């Protein structure tokens, strides 16, 4: 967790961390606005139950839902259904 530019692990300031074996960093699909491993920590292997195969939906998540028509225009049709490698 970052607080005032500092990295805290269990409320203790640190500048490094070694990931334990069989733990993974999970990044959300909206990198800058996702609650992911930067928020809730590394994921143990036994908690991973699947793999993403394709992109189900894609639009510009920086557009507010209140601007519905602009949001609809931002749909990235060329990405929908694309395989994830």
DSSP of 3-35: ETTEEEETTEEES--PPPTTEE----SSGGG--
End-to-end CA distance of the chain: 29
Q: Would you give per-residue pLDDT tens digits along the chain (85 residues)?
A: 455 777 777 788 888 878 889 999 888 877 677 788 888 888 999 999 988 899 888 888 888 888 889 989 999 999 899 998 8
pTM over 0.85: no
Q: Which helix (H) or strand (E) holds 69?
A: helix 68-73
């Amino acid at each position: 967790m970052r607080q005032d530019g500092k990295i805290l692990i269990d409320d203790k300031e640190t500048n490094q961390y070694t990931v334990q074996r069989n733990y993974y960093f999970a990044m959300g699909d909206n990198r800058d606005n996702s609650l992911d491993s930067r928020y809730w920590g590394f994921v143990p292997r036994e908690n991973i139950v699947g793999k993403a195969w394709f992109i189900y939906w894609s639009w510009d998540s920086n557009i507010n839902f209140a601007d519905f028509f602009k949001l609809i225009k931002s749909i990235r049709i060329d990405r929908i259904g694309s395989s994830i490698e």
